[in-house]
Chains A and B, each alone.
Chain A
Amino acid sequence: MLRILGLVAAAVLWAAQGFAADPIKIGAVVSVSGPASFLGEPEKNTLEMVKEEINAKGGLLGRPVELVLYDDESDVNKAVLAAEKLLKKDGVCAVVGATTSGSTLAIMNKFPAAKVPLVSMSAAEKIVTPVNPFVFKVAPSDRHAAGRILKHVKAQGYKNIAILSVSDGFGQAGREVLKELVPAQGFTLVADEVFGPKDTDMTAQLTKIADAKPDAIICWGTNPGPAVVARNRAQLGMKTPLYMSHGVASKKFIELAGESAEGLMLPAGHLIVASQLPDSQPQKALLMAYTAGYQERFKSPVSTFGGHGWDSLKLLAKAIETAKSDKPEDIRDALEKVAAFPGIGGVFTFTPTDHNGLDENAFEMVVIQGGDWKILQ
């Protein structure tokens, strides 16, 4: 009797394996814990949400998608180990990650050798310049945000620009880009001031900037520094227009800066102003759907970072479907041909020379009014 049961069980198992098609394995290296977890957690949530959505619709090429996700704990060494495991042991056909620029830069050179495509969720320009044939990224570059600000500055007819940046990685990367773009686009850089990430008073820098009489100030940093800059500007009674970077495009900034945030302008991803977009905007429907889906499932507000997870997995899915293959090299070739693909971060068009696929239009200029964002026309 037992023997018969055993045989039946074996037969059923064998049959089940035969029916379920081989899954398409996609790897992911995400900083779910550690200091970068505020980026990695929404990314992981979104990746799993998108995977389930794809599988609920019957998967890709009639096969289910399997996500092999490793947490690199915001540690570059762990990201390298995770990438090696994905490439050598798990045999995935494509990889999403890493969360941080440092980790991406550390793992990206393994991918051409393994001939597997990598889609990074981090922002550093070095990831895609010079182009590495197997490496793509979905987060917009600082250059796009700076370009968007300067476009607005030019439209107002301003000439003299002052920059004020925080002395950390984000601020200094932005400062380098601005120092290159400001003179290149015909503006005059009249002041270039810096503040520390933990500084609590920037009136000295602002007073110095006021002395240089700029037409506009561009402040590049992440909370809390820019909030202090906004407060100090109000304190000093300065009327010079102040532009912020996309680094403070969150409600937290408005909360910290309070009334002094009124009238500040910044480039922001479309996600935070989705409901104000015209219906004809190609991203609007999916931005609204993503926001609603994410908030219902995870009970927390959406962030641009989660959007990077959405973009990377959906882009891979699109490439696998157009290539009709899950061979890593076919996916790479198909990725490079993706055109006008609406995502959360923007409308992507990859080419052999552009593996970021975004431009200044990934950002919308917004102004803070009545404690909320408003799209500038």
Chain B
Amino acid sequence: MLFGAPQYLVSGLTVGATYGLTALGFTMIYNTTGIINFAQGEFVMLGGMLSVVLLKAGLPLPLAILAAVLCSALAGCLMERAVIRPVGRAAPVNLVIITIGVSILVRGVVMLIWGKDTFALPAFSGAKPLRFLEASVQPQSLWVLAITLLVLGALKLFFSRTIHGKAMLACACERKAAALMGISVERMAMFSFGMSGFLGAVGGAILTPITLTSYDVGVMLGLKGFAACILGGLGNPFGAAAGGLILGVLESFGAGFISSAYKDAFAFIVLLLLLFVKPTGLFGGPKSDRV
């Protein structure tokens, strides 16, 4: 009965890390602006696609990834400047609809330029699997887990220790008060879009060797990432990452022990049950009803 359990756990953690990284990007923007950015999945896609394109253009892999990540961060900033700031006074729900529009636009442009094909990236340190307990692990999975943890730690420090991080949190709590304290709310908003573009693209670039990429990978990742956010408690970076990992493991165990045909259903049934019992998510405090 328990045959394969270590393997399911490893698979679940790898897939879960992809959800978690996407969820982190959602959290960044939500924490500063109160907006759910549905173009988050597209940042992940951009990170992967641009890495592939730059690698094909002849750049070495680390440089291609670095450039792709920076381009995506820039795209995030650009998105805030071009479409979010001009309608800054609008209700959050209007802004959310705008982000959906941006996601469709980005997807369309990437499809027109690079086509509908799927692409792969080489793994960072070989593809020879490692044996661990009874499971085999791709070295790339370890990269993904390590980088996810690293990013998580850095974010934690950023929000609790640096003046910029605290300023960003202040903007989300009360824009007017933050502005009166001398914080440039607009710059913080742009900064948060840039950072979540950066986070998404890091995720996209490190995941592509495992998951492959194409112009439309952002749709499903965005959806699962958002679910991970809700599961972990909206606005909590730690909760977002944990939510992603839990979602991934649930899916993997569901597919392994019950039926792979209903894989996507298990995660969402658990999510629904949890929300009935604890509407603020696993790690969400009372803070989450502030919007």
Contacts and interface: CB of A to CB of B under 8 A. Distances in A.
B189 to A, nearest CB: 31
Interface stretch (A17-25, A220-228, A320-328, A337-345): A220-228
Given A201-B15, A203-B11, A235-B138, A211 B4 contact: yes
Interface string A216-259: 00000001100110010011110000000000000010011011
Majority SS at the chain B contact face: helix
B186 interface: no
Contacts of B214: 224
Given A200-B15, A200-B212, A252-B118, 19 more contacts: A194-B261, A196-B263, A198-B220, A200-B18, A200-B211, A201-B14, A201-B252, A203-B10, A203-B252, A204-B256, A205-B256, A207-B11, A207-B256, A210-B4, A224-B118, A227-B212, A256-B118, A256-B119, A258-B120
Contacts of B219: 198
- 10 nearest CB pairs, A to B: A200-B211, A224-B118, A207-B4, A204-B255, A203-B11, A194-B261, A204-B256, A207-B7, A193-B260, A198-B220
B118 A223 contact: yes
A55 B255 CA distance: 57
B8 interface: yes
A363 interface: no
A208 interface: yes
Contacts of A203: 7-8, 10-11, 252
A369 interface: no
Contact of A236 (B129, B252, B264): B129
A167 interface: yes
A210 B7 CA distance: 12
Contacts of B217: 198
Interface string B1-26: 00110011011101100100000000
B148 to A, nearest CB: 15
A175 to B, nearest CB: 10
Given A201-B14, A235-B136, A224 B3 contact: no
A252 B127 CA distance: 19
Residue among A38, A195, A196, A203 with max Cβ neighbours from chain B (10 Å): A203
B4 A208 contact: yes
Contacts of A237: 129, 136
B116 interface: yes
Contact of A204 (B8, B116, B117, B127): B8
B55 to A, nearest CB: 13
Given A194-B260, A196-B264, A205-B260, A252 B117 contact: yes
A256 B264 CA distance: 24
A201 B211 CA distance: 7
Q: Which size bracket describes the interface of A in this complex? A: 20 to 34
Nearest to A164: B260
B185 to A, nearest CB: 37
A64 to B, nearest CB: 37
A333 B66 CA distance: 65
Given A193-B260, A196-B263, A259-B127, A201 B7 contact: no
B210 interface: yes
Interface of A: 38, 167, 193-196, 198-201, 203-205, 207-208, 210-211, 223-224, 227-228, 231, 234-237, 252, 255-256, 258-260
A224 B119 CA distance: 9
10 contacts: A38-B116, A193-B260, A196-B263, A200-B210, A200-B211, A201-B11, A204-B253, A205-B256, A208-B4, A223-B118
Contact of B256 (A208, A236, A256): A208
Contacts of A234: 127, 129
B266 to A, nearest CB: 11
B133 to A, nearest CB: 13
A163 to B, nearest CB: 12
A348 B129 CA distance: 47
Contacts of A199: 263
- Scoring B18, B118, B120, B255 by chain A CB atoms within 10 A of each residue's CB, the highest score goes to B255
Contacts of B260: 193-195, 204-205, 208
B284 to A, nearest CB: 27
A234 B259 CA distance: 23
A183 B252 CA distance: 29
A196 B262 CA distance: 10
A263 to B, nearest CB: 16
B53 to A, nearest CB: 15
Contact of A256 (B120, B129, B220): B120
Given A224-B118, A235-B136, A236-B129, A204 B7 contact: yes
B8 A207 contact: yes
A196 B210 CA distance: 16
